[in-house]
């Protein structure tokens, strides 16, 4: 009998840790996530079922400390040639059970990617913040990016260049004083332990030297988080408002300094695409499992559903789409893991960002389409929560929308392949 492990993946891009770690993750997904995931939609506010599993993933399995150097209690994954491969593995395996749970766990490390991945590394800051991430307490990182007035402008760095950022950082002695309002970031909504905050030292400036990225612990005086918002999907990911009112942090909490902060932030855009394709392909794997069970146990015209030509044709197209999506997802992995090789590019390069956006858009479009076809095959069961396809569909629509959505993906591709200069 075929299974999700029969879908293609280029073995030369697979981390040596992947096989054993996948087994561990799959056991957690099957035993501790699948039985509860239908309860997650109602658990969006309290996280009664969600928080223990996030703790298991981040603390129990050690995901939250993975990027930090071994001498500071981590795995040194940030310096590994297989960092992106293992990050993708986590996103896909946990995403098979619940995309939002995978998102919340992975995104706890998203802010620290800015200073733990070569060539932009700040070991002093790593040493300072490591105790938060490498201990036994759950540390929830939040990439505090989007602002109410600008939407995805902040992610459109090549054109907007940060000029619409209204969150400010002002130097006062040996501290940064931060003021501003962020909206909707993953792991906000009252649960974050530490924020990575893109801000500006000179409002309205397009100069990358005026873009600042500063780490701000959530218990800093002047930092306030709202309760989470109810959403159509992604219940295991809390989203809310964050206000910074004269929040003071040491100067050393700026990750690199003028110019380099902007490059590190652009690298986060690539990381966002990597996680997105992992969540989407993970969801597709589970949709395949659901379809396999349904089409192998239901009959039409005295034959199994999957043995009818019309249904088999659609099933074949779905299998083909999933296979292609997984191969393409590993191309995003390769783009990142080649960064340390002579032929590779930094994760903040124009090529890496454009190609990863291209693949993310394609996979998300295919994933939403596959869910629609799966719901058609399931008929009246397609929208029934008992079969979980509608849950994946709602979650995937949100994966499709974030990081600037389809439109910004299109613009980045046009800039790179057609040398557009005004988009």
- End-of-domain residue from the set 107, 139, 171: 139
Residues 268 and 255 in one domain: no
Whether 70 is covered by a domain: the verdict is yes
> pTM (2 decimals)?
0.96
Residues 167 and 135 in one domain: no
Whether 68 is covered by a domain: the verdict is yes
Whether 12 is covered by a domain: the verdict is yes
pLDDT, one tens digit per residue, over 146-163 is 999 877 788 889 888 999
Q: Which CATH number fits the domain that encloses residue 82?
A: 1.10.540.10
Residues 92 and 207 in one domain: no
pLDDT on residue 316: 97
The DSSP annotation for 38-97 comes to: GGGGGGTTT-TTHHHHHHIIIIIS-GGGTTS-GGGTS--GGG-TTHHHHHHHHHHHHHHH
Residues 184 and 310 in one domain: no
Residues 183 and 66 in one domain: no
pLDDT on residue 309: 94
pLDDT on residue 14: 85
Residues 298 and 397 in one domain: yes
Residues 17 and 149 in one domain: no
Q: Is 400 helix (H, G, I), strand (E, B) or coil?
A: helix
Whether 63 is covered by a domain: the verdict is yes
Q: Which residues of the chain have pLDDT under 50?
A: none
Whether 423 is covered by a domain: the verdict is no
Whether 383 is covered by a domain: the verdict is yes
**Domain ranges, residue 318:** 261-418
d(CA 106, CA 205): 32
Residues 71 and 153 in one domain: no
pLDDT on residue 340: 86
Whether 94 is covered by a domain: the verdict is yes
Q: Which CATH number fits the domain that encloses residue 283?
A: 1.20.140.10
The DSSP annotation for 6-50 comes to: GS---GGGS-TTHHHHHHHHHHHIIIIITTTGGGGGGGTTT-TTH
Residues 69 and 194 in one domain: no
Residues 176 and 193 in one domain: yes
Looking at the structure of the chain, the number of domains it has is: 3
pLDDT, one tens digit per residue, over 343-379 is 899 999 999 999 999 999 999 999 999 999 999 999 9
pLDDT on residue 347: 96
């Amino acid at each position: 009998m075929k299974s999700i492990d029969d879908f293609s993946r280029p073995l030369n891009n697979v981390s040596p840790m992947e096989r054993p770690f996948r087994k561990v993750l799959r056991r957690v997904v099957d035993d501790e996530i699948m039985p509860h995931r239908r309860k997650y939609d109602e658990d969006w506010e309290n996280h009664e079922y969600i928080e223990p599993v996030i703790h298991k993933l981040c603390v129990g399995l050690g995901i939250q400390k993975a990027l930090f150097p071994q001498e500071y209690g981590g795995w040194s994954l940030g310096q590994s040639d297989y960092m992106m491969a293992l990050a993708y593995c986590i996103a896909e395996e946990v995403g098979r059970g619940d995309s939002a749970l995978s998102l919340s766990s992975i995104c706890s490390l998203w802010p620290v990617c800015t200073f733990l991945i070569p060539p932009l590394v700040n070991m002093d800051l790593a040493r300072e913040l490591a105790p938060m991430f490498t201990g036994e307490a759950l540390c929830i990182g939040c990439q505090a990016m989007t602002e109410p007035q600008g939407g995805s402008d902040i992610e459109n760095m090549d054109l907007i260049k940060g000029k619409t950022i209204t969150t400010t950082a002002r130097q006062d002695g040996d501290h940064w004083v931060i003021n501003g309002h962020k909206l909707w970031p993953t792991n906000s909504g009252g649960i974050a332990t530490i924020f990575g905050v893109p801000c500006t030292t000179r409002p309205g400036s397009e100069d990358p030297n005026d873009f600042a990225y500063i780490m701000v612990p959530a218990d800093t005086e002047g930092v306030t988080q709202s309760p989470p918002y109810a959403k159509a999907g992604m219940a295991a990911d809390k989203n809310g408002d964050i206000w910074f009112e004269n929040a003071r942090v040491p100067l050393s909490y700026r990750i690199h300094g003028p110019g380099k902060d902007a490059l590190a932030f652009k690298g986060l855009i690539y990381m966002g695409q990597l996680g997105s394709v992992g969540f989407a392909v993970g969801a597709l794997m589970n949709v395949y499992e659901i379809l396999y069970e349904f089409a192998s146990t239901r009959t039409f015209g005295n034959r199994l559903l999957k043995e009818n030509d019309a249904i088999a044709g659609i099933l074949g197209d779905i299998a083909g789409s999933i296979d292609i999506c997984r191969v393409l997802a590993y191309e995003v992995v390769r783009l990142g893991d080649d960064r340390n090789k002579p032929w590779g590019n930094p994760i903040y390069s124009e090529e890496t960002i454009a190609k990863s956006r291209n693949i993310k858009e394609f996979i998300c479009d295919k994933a939403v389409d596959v869910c629609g076809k799966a719901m058609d095959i399931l008929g009246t069961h397609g929208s029934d929560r008992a079969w979980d396809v509608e849950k994946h569909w709602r979650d995937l629509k949100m994966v499709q929308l974030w990081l600037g959505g389809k439109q910004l993906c299109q613009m980045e591709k046009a800039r790179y392949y057609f040398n557009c200069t005004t988009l």
